[in-house]
Chain A
């Protein structure tokens, strides 16, 4: 009997999870269908690029720089043991482009911009602003959700590229300026090892997928917020947690398809 109950609970949880997923997907489609306003009134989207992208610039650039510098120091330490310290640039560039750039940028983006989007929309819901909009015959999906979604989807890949660039620059500063490695070897080895389609393009594809995941989660959780102060805070937490987990899972799946057998 205990097992029967346990099974029933498990089944119920699974069904609820699937229903929730379906709900999110329907929301996604609804946002996509409401895109026209985000395009025809570009200013709305521009404003969201400002809040999601420009305001995340500092954290992205600074973290990128430090990640690159740390990676260079550690990489140099280990690679010099094998007499391969020339490959530090390759190590950093590959690590950043293939994994760390898109993933860490997306995690930071979820924490910085995703939570802000959820909190803003959630607060609008808690204070009846979304309902007021609806009562004024303006669809919040078109006026609030779509511009934020597209603002995030446009900002995130640029942020990921900036993150990788900052990291490579950080590695350059450490290995070439500080340790005194040869400038030509740093760039030359990097260029010989990094493939445009394989590494750079896949990096951009990953960051676009992550952008959709983070922004969709953030906008959805905002709209799904329970309209209380507690509801807003737990929705914000959910955005960061769910988006981060989804990013890592999606990264694993994409890595399998992109880099297997190479």
Chain B
């Protein structure tokens, strides 16, 4: 049940892009203050949808989403925008503004939401870039950055206004092992240093178990398993075991649901013979 210790929570959330096919089918989860929570699951299981619901980008069909004691689906547009200033969002590939330099990207939230002087913005931007280790890249163009660097710049931009909660959408996708652990450690360090909370949507089980406090496994629109990293590692749940060990077949089947083989391959032959 939600307590005041939670920065955000989902209570029995139902959601579907089309009514006939629910993506989320009764999901409840809590994001405690100061913790890093991972949401894991196979591709297309609705992980990203959960982030979008948390950020108020979409409204659940049923159930409630709470952020900082406010019910997100009930917020008006100005209230929602006010809420998002306390929220940091890191996109899968960073989503840096390609028409601006690295410096201008990080300065963007200050320019849009504050009246700070140019000198102050300059100092703040370099501070934020320093926090992700990229002060030296301040005057580079965004297309000169590697994937990992772009994501770190985006991270600097996301933490610019000191959010209460950071949402990470697949932060590890497409990174080499070094960049991957750099980004992973950065997420953890920033979380503890800034005293914020983080939600991490990922399917990189190995990296995330090293840095998170709690894990939710999502599949078929519901929570299949949850627990601390230790509990997950020693879990005997067949789904968790399949995911952790990366087994090909298991509760998550290799084959998509389809007609029986005989019907698909021989169907026409059978029909033709019947005629």
Known: A127-B98, A129-B95, A129-B98. Is A135-B85 also a contact (CB below 8 A)?
no
Instruction: Confirm or deny: A84 has a beta carbon within 8 angstroms of a beta carbon on chain B.
Output: no
Q: Contacts A134-B57, A135-B55 hold; do A128 and B84 have CB atoms under 8 A apart?
A: no
B105-113, B120-128, B181-189, B225-233 - interface stretch: B105-113
Kindly list chain A residues whose C-beta atoms are within 8 Å of the C-beta of B97.
124, 129, 132
Report A128 CB to chain B, min CB distance, Å.
Answer: 4
Closest to B85 in A: A137
Give the most central of A123, A132, A143: most B CB within 10 Å.
Answer: A132
A128 and B93 contacting across the interface, CB-CB below 8 Å: yes
B55 touches A136 (CB 8 A): no
Instruction: Let me know if B113 and A137 touch, CB within 8 A.
Output: yes
- CB pair A135 B89 closer than 8 Å: yes
**Is A128 in contact with B108, judged by CB distance below 8 angstroms?**
no
Within 8 A of B (CB), among A115-133: 120, 123-124, 127-129, 131-132
- The answer on a CB contact under 8 Å between B112 and A131 is no
Report Cα–Cα, A127/B94, bound state, in Å.
9
Are B112 and A132 in contact, CB atoms less than 8 angstroms apart?
Answer: no
- Across-interface contacts of B82 in A (CB, < 8 A): 137
- Contact partner of A135 among B84, B92, B93, B98, CB < 8 A? B84
Q: Which of B85, B95, B99, B157 contacts A128 (CB 8 A)?
A: B95
- Residues from chain B with Cβ under 8 Å of A123 in the complex: 98
Shortest distance from the beta carbon of A232 to any chain B beta carbon, whole Å: 13
Which size bracket describes the interface of B in this complex?
20 to 34
Neighbour of B112 across the interface among A120, A135, A143, CB < 8 A: A143
| Chain A 101-121: CB-based contact to B (< 8 A → 1; otherwise 0) | 000000000000000000010
Taking CB as reference atom, which chain B residue is nearest A47? B99
* Closest chain B residue, CB of each to CB of A127: B95
Quick check: B112 and A138 within 8 Å, CB to CB? yes
**In the complex, A183 has a CB within 8 A of chain B:** no
Taking CB atoms, residues of chain A closer than 8 Å to B200 are none
Interface check A139, CB cutoff 8 A: yes
Q: How far is the CA of A137 from the CA of B96 in the complex (A)?
A: 15
Q: How far is the CB of B166 from chain A (nearest CB, A)?
A: 11
> How close is B71's CB to chain A, nearest CB, in angstroms?
18
Starting from the known contacts A123-B98, A131-B95, A132-B89, 10 additional A-B residue pairs (CB-CB under 8 Å) come to A120-B99, A127-B98, A131-B57, A134-B57, A135-B84, A137-B85, A138-B108, A138-B112, A138-B113, A143-B112
What are the 8 tightest A-B residue pairs by CB atom distance, in nearest-first order?
A128-B95, A132-B95, A135-B89, A137-B84, A137-B81, A128-B91, A138-B112, A137-B85
